[in-house]
Amino acid sequence: MYEELKEIKNLNPKKFIEEKAKEISDIVGDGVAINALSGGVDSSTVTMLGHRALGDRNKTYFIENGLMRQNEPEQIVAIFQELGVPIEVVDAKEQFFAALKGVTDPEQKREAVTQTFYKDVFGKLVRESGAKYLLQGTILTDVDETAAGIKRQHNVFEQIGIDPQEAFGYKILEPLVQIRKDGVRKVAEALGLPESIYNRMPFPGPALAARVIEEATPERIEIAREANYIVEEELAKEIALKHINPFQYMAILHKDRVTGMRDGKRDFGLQIEVRCWDSIDARTATPTDVSYEARKRIADRLTKEVPGVVSVTYNLAEKPPSTMEAI
Amino acid sequence: MYEELKEIKNLNPKKFIEEKAKEISDIVGDGVAINALSGGVDSSTVTMLGHRALGDRNKTYFIENGLMRQNEPEQIVAIFQELGVPIEVVDAKEQFFAALKGVTDPEQKREAVTQTFYKDVFGKLVRESGAKYLLQGTILTDVDETAAGIKRQHNVFEQIGIDPQEAFGYKILEPLVQIRKDGVRKVAEALGLPESIYNRMPFPGPALAARVIEEATPERIEIAREANYIVEEELAKEIALKHINPFQYMAILHKDRVTGMRDGKRDFGLQIEVRCWDSIDARTATPTDVSYEARKRIADRLTKEVPGVVSVTYNLAEKPPSTMEAI
């Protein structure tokens, strides 16, 4: 279905926005469209385009899956509120944690998050909304990776539990499919989105569930959330000082316990791994040369502020053979 | 039993050696003594003192527990052979691995190694040797730590399965009990032991079993052995260049698996944690500021040379709340 796709070269963001808003408006007519906002740059851009084209006839849902970072849902909703774009927050935490219960295999964890999102939560919203149009933030790199066999191509309607045969008339709109990440960032900026969105660090779909080795319980996700908050805060200082310019950084809660000591007693405690990557295109990556002082400061805060943490490590290996996320 | 102990101040190593050799000789008379050599500075020093006092009437055993580092048994035996001290190597690998089978709790692992050493292997040797004297490398710090409740005080004869009541006449000799590690190093040097022994990095009793999180199978110990060899080799270069002067360093094989990629395919592989510590007295410690280049070189070798390793980390947290070894 993407065979004829051509990348848009020499992108003019303002012209692109006008054209795509008109296309969406022409196709949807006086119908209703729907989209899911994660707060990433792709889905944020699609949300703005849908709103520009359709106003309130584009319904945007933010699914609170319980796996987002500290204050992330509130911040995303506030950003769009200020831009005059209404966002409906759907609390689906219990459904996601129920699906993740007892799941330890990384692939099964990803699948549990994906399936809960499409089948149980977003699928239901699509069916109930009466929308026949679904706006998606697919970019050209996603299409390339599908063709190369790196990502699986999913029929989105099948994923959300709608049989495309029976449900004739459903249509997916992918306004970003001829541009790549750098283009999306330019379009996002031209749409008036703040830098926290258009320069947002990638945060893949399984969210904090990918930052916890083995089972992602609410308690373990909370530890990973606190750890990621500290790591992001401390590394943001280093970035502001222009000491480093990483592509992505994170904290990972390990399952392995290691021996530590607290108040003179043995404490078989938790270990947090800090990863910080220099990368151009995410295909290869090198550990960022974070200063000794900054690394110590991070370790100091993690062991003092996150309950149960006795040990902290920093990634050393390149991608490949490593990958950016741990699971 | 140690209440009257006084530390020897202003140690004169040569005089100390003469006095202790005479003491041992006076006590053992024409009897037979026995000791176990691990290759650490304490047991090596005791071996030399025993040999000086008793010649071949001190029997020294090196227990090959399968948990030593690369070539360690061969190197230790060769060092003593060159010094004219006969060492009997006892292959007890199978007994140790049998005791470690299925054991995942760190304390139980330590206990399995200790019990196999005393009850099953060394205890049997003591009983069969006819020796009534046991030379031990206890130092003053061990006594202090026992008094402070940090280490448990064991009756060694009970440990080796000899009832001190029934077996009247057994005696433990502890020639190093009035000096500390720095004193032992001076005595070791004066005894003609090479620097690889008298400046030997601490390598605690559970050996590589403490460098493997969870079960210590022969296969997992072999991975930890290869990883420790590479880490020691690379950090030795940094030490030789006087870039760093660490107290202790090691590689730890984690149980957690992390996602990696090899030949373009997903590889759910192994992670090695590198730890390197600056410390004066092991009571507190700080991660060594190893250069970015050296850390990368270590990670590069570990991922290329140790089968299955896709990720490498470096410790960041201080002791406390961390500890030097991971288990």
B122-164: per-residue pLDDT in tens?
989 988 988 989 999 999 888 877 676 656 555 677 777 777 6
- Region A193-209: mean pLDDT is 93
Rounded Cα distance, B235 and B219, in Å: 25
Q: What is the pLDDT of residue B165?
A: 60
Residues of A in contact with B213 (CB under 8 A): 256, 258
Helix (H, G, I), strand (E, B) or coil at A191: coil
- Report the percentage of chain B scoring pLDDT > 70: 94
Question: Which residue numbers of A have CB closer than 8 Å to B's CBs?
Answer: 106, 213-214, 254-256, 258-262, 267-269, 273-274, 287, 289, 292, 295-296, 298-300, 302-303, 309-323, 325-327
Buried b (16+ CB within 10 A) or exposed e, B260-297: beeeeeebebbbbbbbbbbbeeeeebebbebeeebbbb
Q: Report the distance separating Cα B291 and Cα B241, nearest Å.
A: 12
pLDDT band, very low/low/confident/very high, at A164 (cuts 50, 70, 90)? low
Tokens read off for A297: 């400061």
Q: Would you list which residues of chain B are within 8 Å, Cβ to Cβ, of chain A?
A: 106, 213-214, 254-256, 258-262, 267-269, 273-274, 287, 289, 292, 295-296, 298-300, 302-303, 309-323, 325-327
pLDDT of residue A3: 59
| A contacts of B273 (beta carbons < 8 Å) | 313
pLDDT given at position B155: 60
Q: In the predicted model, what is the mean pLDDT of residues B14-19? A: 97
The pLDDT assigned to A27 comes to: 95
Instruction: Tell me which residue of B172, B277, B207 sits closest to B39, measured CA to CA.
Output: B207
C-alpha span between A153 and A17 (Å, rounded) = 27
Q: Which of A19-23, A113-117, A153-157 has the lowest mean pLDDT?
A: A153-157
Checking if the pLDDT of B302 tops 80, the result is yes
What are the residues facing B250 on neighbouring strands? B275
Going by the DSSP 8-state scheme, the letter that residue A319 receives in this structure is: B
Q: What is the DSSP track for B174-223? A: -TTTT--HHHHHHHHHHTT--HHHHTPPP--TTGGGGGBSS---HHHHHH
Kindly provide the b/e burial profile for residues A185-216, where b requires at least 16 CB atoms within 10 angstroms of the residue's own CB: bbbbbbbebeeebbebeebeebbbbbbbbbbb
Identity at B168, one-letter amino acid code: F
A contact test, residue of B104, B295, B313 with most A CBs within 10 A: B313
Q: Which value, to the nearest 10 degrees, does the dihedral of the CA atoms of residues A227, A229, A233, A239 take?
A: 90
Per-residue pLDDT, B151: 60
Residues 6+ apart with CB under 8 A from B70: B225, B226, B228, B229
Cβ separation of A321 and B268 shorter than 8 Å?
Answer: no
What's the Cα-to-Cα distance from B93 to each of B44, B96, B104, B120, B214, rounded to whole Å? 21, 5, 18, 12, 19
What pLDDT digit, counting tens, does each position of A27-84 carry? 999 999 999 999 999 999 999 999 999 999 999 999 999 999 999 999 999 999 999 9
Those residues whose C-beta lies under 8 Å from the C-beta of residue A161, and which sit 6 or more positions away, are: A118, A119, A123, A127
**Mean model confidence pLDDT for chain A:** 92
DSSP of B68-98: S-TTHHHHHHHHHHHTT--EEEEE-HHHHHH
When pLDDT is averaged across residues B75-82 and rounded to a whole number, the result is 97
Percent of chain B with pLDDT over 90: 76
Tokens for B225?
């052995």
Q: With contact defined as beta carbons under 8 Å apart, do B169 and B55 qualify?
A: no
Instruction: For residues A159 and A171, give the distance between their C-alpha atoms in angstroms, rounded to a whole number.
Output: 14
Q: What is the pLDDT of residue B166?
A: 67
C-alpha angle with apex B68: B67 to B71, nearest 5 degrees? 135
**Residue A149: predicted pLDDT:** 62
Closest CA to A300 of A308, A311, A291, A290: A311
CA-based nearest distance B320→chain A, Å = 6
This prediction's pTM: 0.91
Residues A233-248 pLDDT 10s: 999 999 999 999 999 9
- Per-residue pLDDT tens over the stretch B113-122: 999 998 889 9
What percent of chain A is modeled with pLDDT above 70? 93
ipTM metric: 0.89
pLDDT, averaged across chain B:
92
Q: How confident is the model at residue A222 (pLDDT cuts 50, 70, 90)?
A: very high
Percent of chain A topping pLDDT 90: 76
B160: tokens are 């080796």
- Where residue B233 falls among pLDDT bands split at 50, 70, 90? very high
Beta bridge partners of B135: B173
What average pLDDT score do residues B78-100 get?
A: 97
B274 has pLDDT over 60 = yes
Q: Which of A155-169, B93-107, B176-190 has the lowest mean pLDDT?
A: A155-169
B16 by DSSP, 3-state: which?
helix
Q: Which amino acid is at B243?
A: H
Per residue in B159-178, pLDDT tens? 777 776 666 668 889 999 99
- Sheet strands (E) in chain A: 33-36, 58-64, 88-91, 133-135, 171-173, 248-253, 258-262, 265-278, 286-287, 309-315
pLDDT of residue A50: 98
Tell me, what's the pLDDT at B204?
86
SS3 content of chain B, % helix, strand, coil (to 5): 45, 20, 40
Please give the pLDDT value at position A160.
72
Per-residue pLDDT at B242 exceeds 70? yes
Q: Closest Cα to residue B253, out of B174, B307, B316, B184? A: B307
pLDDT at A188 over 80: yes
| pLDDT band of B48, cuts 50, 70, 90 | very high
Nearest to B310 among A254, A302, A322 (CB): A322
Chain A's closest residue to B215, CA to CA, is A256
Q: What is the C-alpha to C-alpha distance for residues B251 and B225, in angstroms, rounded to an integer?
A: 8
